[in-house]
Chain A
Amino acid sequence: MKASVVIFPGSNCDHDVIYALEHVIKAHVQKVWHREKNLPEKTDLVVLPGGFSYGDYLRTGAMAARSPIMGSIKEFAEDGGLVLGICNGFQILTEAGLLPGTLLANKNLRFICKLCYLKVERTDLPFTNLYKQAQVVQFPIAHHEGLYYLPSKELEELEKNNQVVFRYVSPEGKCGEEYNPNGSLHDIAGITNLKGNVLGLMPHPERASEEILGGTDGILTWQSIEAWIAKEGV
């Protein structure tokens, strides 16, 4: 499987995602600098990693979303290519219009880094097909702007279309204010677009992909993608 990991000035988690892709599913990974106009040929998966692109200046993800490479990524997504945005990557996808909504500052106005329980609500997607429906997994979060926001009408539409993929929950899978770390509306941690080929999530699956680091629930994300690509072909 060929993955392209896009690197913006200030991206931090590119190294982490590349390591996870290479070690968990032995993907062939290419680094793509934000200034390039075109994605590498035969890319199966585009990953926008976490970090602080452009220092989070102006609005998080705002300037990265206007990078030269974004044109090619939008086309790739239009054609049904798989795009995964993690944390800052999710923020960039909303700024680029590839996913609805926006990420506001955490409700307590502080950066939060800790493990969270998430319920997997869509298991028919390229990114989640190896998870069980309603499975509760643990991924770490690490962000200052993770409060997912969409005006109420659009939010209802989003729920109606089952676009919510990950939701913050208790270890038993129940929603509640005390399990929502950042005040995200409807406890939303990750969403997909209507076509289901673009996924954005605030938690970090690449940080939960090795036993030695304390959690392995992220492994299924990479394996799901690999299985999907293998099945669907290019």
Chain B
Amino acid sequence: MIFHVKILIYLKDGVLDSQGKAVAGSLASMGYKNLRDVRIGRYIQLSINAQSVEEARKQAESMCDDLLVNSLIEDFSITVEE
């Protein structure tokens, strides 16, 4: 079966986010005065052949550990759909 896996990768707290800071500045100057912070991450979409949701999730986690995520500075979350 084909499972659609959605991975959100985000910067750990405390890691410098120059991009987020720049975007926050732009939004503020556009008039968004209530904005407190911007942190920017990444979205990765995988289509995986697997027997079950659990298997697909396990494979995706393994890919994250092996390549997709730099655990020094990033955390991630996974959702799996059929």
Contact = CB atoms under 8 A, between A and B. Distances in A.
The answer to whether A and B touch in the complex, with CB atoms under 8 Å apart, is: yes
Interface of A: 58-59, 62-63, 66, 95, 101-102, 104-109, 147, 149, 151, 183
Q: How large is the interface on B (under 10, 10 to 19, 20 to 34, 35 or more residues)?
A: 10 to 19
B71 to A, nearest CB: 10
B18 A102 contact: no
A35 to B, nearest CB: 17
Contacts of B30: none
B82 to A, nearest CB: 26
Contacts of B22: 109
Contact of A101 (B16, B19, B66, B72): B72
Contacts of B18: 104-109, 147, 183
B16 A147 contact: yes
A226 B66 CA distance: 36
Nearest to A97: B72
Contacts of A147: 16, 18
Contacts of B19: 105, 109
A5 to B, nearest CB: 24
B1 interface: no
Interface string B4-47: 00000000001110110010000000000000000000000000
Given A104-B16, A109-B22, A62 B73 contact: no
Given A102-B73, A109-B22, A183 B67 contact: no
Majority SS of interface residues in chain A?
A: loop
Interface string B47-79: 000000000000000000011101011000000
A63 B15 contact: no
- Kindly list the 9 A-B residue pairs having the minimum CB-CB distance in the complex, ordered from nearest: A107-B18, A102-B72, A105-B18, A109-B18, A102-B73, A59-B70, A109-B22, A104-B16, A66-B67
Contacts of A108: 18
Contact of A183 (B15, B16, B66, B68): B16
Contact of B16 (A62, A63, A149): A149
Nearest to B14: A151
Contact of B70 (A62, A63, A106, A107): A62
B67 A58 contact: yes
A227 to B, nearest CB: 35
B73 A63 contact: no
